[in-house]
Structure 1
Amino acid sequence: MNQDYIKVDPWSIIEEGFDAKQVKSSESLFSLGNGAMGQRANFEEEYTGETFQGSYIAGVYYPDKTRVGWWKNGYPEYFAKVLNAPNWIGIEVLINEELVDLNTCKSVREFKRELNMREGWYQRSFTALLQNGVEISVRSTRFLSLDIDAVGAIKYEITPLNQDVEVIIAPYLDSGITNEDSNWDDKFWNTTNVDSEGSQAFIEAHTMKTNFATCTFMEAKLFYKGSPVEMKPHLKKTDSLIGLSYKQKVEKGEPFTLHKFGGYTVSRDHKESELVQVAKDALFSATTLGYEGLLQKQKEAWAKIWEMSDITINGDVKAQQGIRFNIFQLNQTYLGKDSRLNIGPKGFTGEKYGGSTYWDTEAYCLPFYMATKNQQVAWSLLEYRYNHLEKAIENAQKLGFKNGAALYPMVTMNGEECHNEWEITFEEIHRNGAISFAIYNYHRYTGDYSYIPKMGLEVLIGIARFWHQRVNFSEDKQQYVMLGVTGPNEYENNVNNNWYTSYLAKWCIDYTLEQLEIVKEICPKDYARIISKTNLTITETDDWAKVAGNIYFPYSEKHEVFLQQDGFLDKEMIKVEDLDKSDRPINQKWSWDRILRSPYIKQADVLQGFYFFEDHFSKESLEKHFDFYEPFTVHESSLSPCVHSIQAAKLDRMDQAYTFYLRTSRLDLDDYNKEVEEGLHITSMAGTWMSIVEGFGGMRILNNQLCFTPRIPKQWESYAFKINFRNQIITVTVSGQYTSFEITEGKELSIQVNDKPVSLIPGKVVQA
């Protein structure tokens, strides 16, 4: 049974009624972010119930020393942890000297949360009866500014309902925080200065080891009966906390309001000596606009984002809410402003996976950002990997590879591998292929070739060198084999000849050889520079070609499918539908030994290859492989339903495609995996977007041309989306009767719809 307390609404995430058992889940679901920082939806006031406190600063991390029982050569020395940053949202509230705490109140009623996705704000309201008999209503609204991304704002309003009261309200900053996720319970932060100046306060702190310097700051503005209140605060100060306490007599029925502006300045962006002054400048900009002015800017910024990225669905509010939640969280996590940043699987919503970069970015996120932003955003994601090429070469060297072979990390913050599960760190090497595929995908979609001679070819050469060295020649098979790997299906470790990994290796080498010839012809200066820098020789590339032309792929003549790995058919082939429901999910119910010996597939593996290289295989072959592998797939990875939805749509199995779509779009809202309290699945949310645009919309780039094969689930009346294709904005609307296209920005364009040519003219709606 999935959770069902989230109300269905097209533009908001809504919770009504207070349930302490839901607090941690809601802290994830109502999270906020602005690309530069983010936070879980923790209560501002004291809460002594179960909670997962979390505020995070983009790019700030700690190298938590690897903790393993048995050290192996080549093991990463640390696991990079996104740090729970100093808390700036805290507000201590006392009513007639009693602390407001929803865990200790006599009663809580009219509790409501709303995350307004259209406008980018989060609001919580409740009525509470305190132990001292005072009844109050509280309404708190907060947002993280897209306009001034160092700043967030809170409007905290208290109204006594049954008597006049004395209110003490004390906004504070606290750097005495710890991570939920820590290997050795290290001290992650060192607080160096705690200070205040009038209604402003500052905590300077730096991370241990990585030495990121930060200034956490705040400013308080008070209002009573709607008018500003000037009063000198009482200062509360320790080595790691500073609070500004204000006392006010408040009449029954009258609101007492705090506007709190807070946030972070960081040495990643400014000189350490200037962090306090930069904080003061940010506060000046925010308070000059005022809370309402800053909120209006927030609404305008989100309107601009939605103008391009929204997907509208008519006739299915659950599906509509799901896709907007996914698009909203993706934009909260990454906006493409800084090529030093990337997209962690949990974004700013939790600490699992370390907040680091995975192959999810290239395989799932890049298409979303290419189509809903300008191509510079996608370029920044590719530039991130180029900037880490030297580290990728070092990672490969640590494992014994030579001559500039590059192994990109499974998990990273700065290019170093920092994933500490042996079978993934050393063996899940298919991530290298996703990097190459992203370079190809960027050129295929944008038509911009410039990245390849400028940066991409060096990356491709490093990856091709790795694949060439990673295989070995089997005298028995008289072919090159790939031993001891883990494919995308992490429920099989240390297998031989994982088809997906081997197919990627062959494709990467072939693609690199092809790009070498193209760059040599059209960019001879870049070619000469790259050959000189990499010391690449004809002999070496000839050796690559021999490997690519003779890689072994396991195949079953009986089933007429490529085998996921050599021993796949040696397993006891019981389909998922025949498993006892009490065994699910197997990753929580079974031993790892039992999982590894089972045929069960965590996520698309062979089918991931069919997704990437769809045009390499016939529809009949896809159908055969889908029918063979999907019945063994437990979809216990967040990345699984989207790929299967796209392929089911391709096969005209719309009921199945819709079921998978609903699962990927509402994975967190309905908590399919029973783990949403740990944080959201941000990177898989891009897969949800792909499920509609590539799955139902059937968008592809074939022969350098934009193509569509539109389909619609029977549950929907119509749906519409926009894409930015080579700087042309195209609106696509699909209903049961027709599909329409309109270029709202750009020039005339020829596309294919259901294999027929269609000409699009700016400003004219064309039906197909």
Structure 2
Amino acid sequence: MEISFGLDFDTKHWGRPGRWQAEFGAGGISVLGRTESTGQFLAAAAEIQSSLPYEIYKTEKEIGASYRFKLQGEAVFDRKVSIFADRQGEKREELLLAAEADLQKSPGFSEALVAAKAYWEDFWQRTDVEIEGDPENQQGIRFCIYHLQQTYHGFDPGNNIGAKGLTGEAYSGHAFWDTETYCLPFYLFNNLSAARDLLIFRYRTLPEARKRARELDCEGACYPIATLNGHEACSLWQHASLQLQPSTGVAYGIYHYYRVSKDNEFLKDYGFEMLVEISRFLLSRGQWNREGKFGYYCVMGPDEFQMMVHHNSYTNYLAKRTFLFTLEVRDLLKDNDKYEQIIEKLGIGEDFFRKIKTAAAQMLLLYDPETELFEQHLGYFELPHIDIGSIPVTDFPLYNNWSYDRIYRNDMIKQPDVLMFLFLFASDFPLSVKKANYEFYEPRCIHESSLSPSVHSILAAEIGKKDEALAFFEFATRLDLDDYNRNAEEGLHLTSIAAAWMNIVYGFGGLRSDGACLSLAPQIPAIWKRYAFKINYRGKNIRVEVTKDEVKLSSDDEKPATLLLYGKEIILRDEYRAELRK
């Protein structure tokens, strides 16, 4: 037999030669890699323990140990690998030494196995979702939760969550606005420090966002549609220049984090500065019409089938809420010593806050109180209608089979747009508004985004369309396990995986976290016998268990927590039971 264990820096990217320069350590199996374009260092050292003889082998970018032997009984190999990274590219010499030294103090296999078991047992005890009566989705949601933890757990605030996580090359590792709108909720209720670190990433990349705003002839900070390190990586101008939702998404993430955590220190040290800079960008990017209304021209909302539109309702509403939250935080912090430092640093005065208050008050919202509909953008209702059921299945995905202009010239939508802000700010809208807009826009949506079904399922559950909610949910937990889209080889749909967790907790659990008080309104799918999920809310562990007849809230401590259950205020200490509303 021949077995080789190595460190290989000749990895391919989309089949092309790797982008690493590599040099070997002085002794043993170790490599220092350097990225060719950005100059980042990655040091790796390995140690293989075995009683068998071996030879060290080297290629241009690979080094390892090769064993040749005749198998007689059992052969045991114990391999340890240590990896250190330096993104600034300043620690060339000490980095490889640190990796080599780390091998000497790292535990062996038996100790590492014990530690790993303890780690995962603790993790599942805190985050598991239980489903009785649906083994496929039980397996599916645990698959999703596992990959969320594997991909990101707040180890380094210099990281974000790529659309494919660490599992594939599609999107080249880039993070999108999905991080704040789809991924953040899981971490808010399972790992609050990791949620904070996701927002710290945006603070660390604020200089790049300021630069991007200047490139667009605007002020403040414009966050990129796709990024690894804060720089705009999207080469499609209609997305990179017209989509404002990365910036409003960051503002929403700060808003959502604060609503859940009440972390005033974060607002003081990071959040307020980001909110002000995003608001400066939104104020400079928006324009006033002849009737004295404020809004946004030539934009693209979440529905990427409509571009260069005016007054996209999602864009306008998120900008309005960003302005209002910036003002709320200003009032919260203005007696703090750091407030004046931030104001002086940014070079703004009270005139700026008066301007965003006026812009928020005069924001143009295309809402008809008679129909309770929001028009997706100016002129959307006049677009030619297309029956999406008449499109041959062989035409999907449309991006691969239709020209761009053919996609753009009708009322078909790719993913939730109006429905998206009705979900994000659920507490702002009555049930009747959600129902009217769901019934209008859902038949026009082709769900050509893996993020689309979950939001539709959550809203369908809220407005009482239980069969539709369950039908949309069927895509959620097993999208990658069953390879529904036939593209799992490109990597897992990480933000869709996060949406699957939301689909259960926000959809069937009825959790709403955008208001002043955490709210629950559980229901149970007909095919389930029981389900349960866990959240941590302001330091209190809460378990929500739902059966066909009862909702049981329990906690491992008696510290009181004020919640809304079916709209009624309750105080949860150790346990609270209520009848399930049918």
Indicate the residue corresponding to 1:265 in structure 2.
84
1:369-448 paired onto structure 2 within 5 Å: 369-373=187-191, 375-402=192-219, 405-448=220-263
Write the distance in 2 (CA, Å) between the matches of 1:243 and 1:454. 46
Answer whether contact 1:730 1:745 (CA < 8 A) is retained: no
Show CA shifts across 1:309-362 (max 9, x none): 110100101111111111000000011121111111111111222212211111
Write the distance in 1 (CA, Å) between the matches of 2:538 and 2:75. 52
2:140 is aligned with 1:322? yes
What's the CA shift for 1:282? Answer: 3.1
Indicate the residue corresponding to 2:458 in structure 1.
646
Show CA shifts across 1:503-528 (max 9, x none): 1111111221222122114x2x1221
- Which secondary structure does the structure 2 equivalent of 1:665 belong to? coil
Answer whether contact 1:194 1:241 (CA < 8 A) is retained: no
Answer whether contact 2:9 2:62 (CA < 8 A) is retained: yes
Indicate the residue corresponding to 2:63 in structure 1.
242
Change in 2 beyond 3 A, CA 1:426/1:444 = same
Q: Which runs of 5+ in 1 are unaligned?
A: 1-166, 223-228
Indicate the residue corresponding to 2:12 in structure 1.
178
Indicate the residue corresponding to 2:323 in structure 1.
509
Write the distance in 2 (CA, Å) between the matches of 1:239 and 1:702. 54
Structure 1 stretch 700-709 or stretch 238-247: which is displaced more?
700-709
- Which secondary structure does the structure 2 equivalent of 1:341 belong to? coil
Write the distance in 2 (CA, Å) between the matches of 1:387 and 1:172. 35
Which residue of the other structure, out of 351, 357, 362, is the alignment partner of 1:545? 357
2:161 is aligned with 1:343? yes
Answer whether contact 2:544 2:553 (CA < 8 A) is retained: yes
What's the CA shift for 1:624? Answer: 0.4
Write the distance in 1 (CA, Å) between the matches of 2:314 and 2:567. 29
Show CA shifts across 1:169-224 (max 9, x none): 2222222232117xxx6762111226653xxx1122211131112223322233xx
- Which secondary structure does the structure 2 equivalent of 1:720 belong to? strand
Answer whether contact 2:11 2:17 (CA < 8 A) is retained: no
Answer whether contact 1:194 1:242 (CA < 8 A) is retained: no
1:282-681 paired onto structure 2 within 5 Å: 282-286=102-106, 289-373=107-191, 375-402=192-219, 405-475=220-290, 477-521=291-335, 523=336, 525-555=337-367, 560-681=372-493
**Aligned partner letter, 1:169:** I
TM-score, normalization by structure 1: 0.72
What's the CA shift for 1:651? Answer: 0.8
Change in 2 beyond 3 A, CA 1:766/1:556 = closer
Change in 2 beyond 3 A, CA 1:218/1:425 = same
Answer whether contact 2:238 2:300 (CA < 8 A) is retained: yes
Indicate the residue corresponding to 1:81 in structure 2.
none
Answer whether contact 1:330 1:685 (CA < 8 A) is retained: yes
Show CA shifts across 1:74-103 (max 9, x none): xxxxxxxxxxxxxxxxxxxxxxxxxxxxxx
Change in 2 beyond 3 A, CA 1:176/1:757 = closer
Write the distance in 2 (CA, Å) between the matches of 1:703 and 1:548. 19
Indicate the residue corresponding to 2:21 in structure 1.
190
Q: Which runs of 5+ in 2 are unaligned?
A: none
Indicate the residue corresponding to 2:75 in structure 1.
256
- Which secondary structure does the structure 2 equivalent of 1:664 belong to? coil
**Aligned partner letter, 1:280:** E
- CA root-mean-square deviation: 2.1
Answer whether contact 2:11 2:18 (CA < 8 A) is retained: no
Write the distance in 2 (CA, Å) between the matches of 1:173 and 1:454. 41
TM-score, normalization by structure 2: 0.94
What percentage of aligned pairs have identical amino acids? 34
Change in 2 beyond 3 A, CA 1:647/1:216 = same
Write the distance in 1 (CA, Å) between the matches of 2:331 and 2:555. 36
Indicate the residue corresponding to 1:761 in structure 2.
573
**Aligned partner letter, 1:190:** Q
Which residue of the other structure, out of 91, 97, 109, is the alignment partner of 1:277? 97
1:194-213 paired onto structure 2 within 5 Å: 196-197=27-28, 201-213=29-41
Write the distance in 1 (CA, Å) between the matches of 2:209 and 2:166. 26
Show CA shifts across 1:99-135 (max 9, x none): xxxxxxxxxxxxxxxxxxxxxxxxxxxxxxxxxxxxx
Write the distance in 1 (CA, Å) between the matches of 2:194 and 2:287. 39
What's the CA shift for 1:250? Answer: 1.9
What's the CA shift for 1:703? Answer: 5.8
Give the structure with the higher percent helix.
Answer: 2
- Which secondary structure does the structure 2 equivalent of 1:417 belong to? coil
Change in 2 beyond 3 A, CA 1:265/1:527 = closer
Indicate the residue corresponding to 2:535 in structure 1.
723
What's the CA shift for 1:418? Answer: 1.8
- Which secondary structure does the structure 2 equivalent of 1:700 belong to? coil
Write the distance in 1 (CA, Å) between the matches of 2:567 and 2:216. 48
What's the CA shift for 1:557? Answer: 7.8
Write the distance in 2 (CA, Å) between the matches of 1:580 and 1:715. 32
Write the distance in 2 (CA, Å) between the matches of 1:718 and 1:362. 30
**Aligned partner letter, 1:294:** A
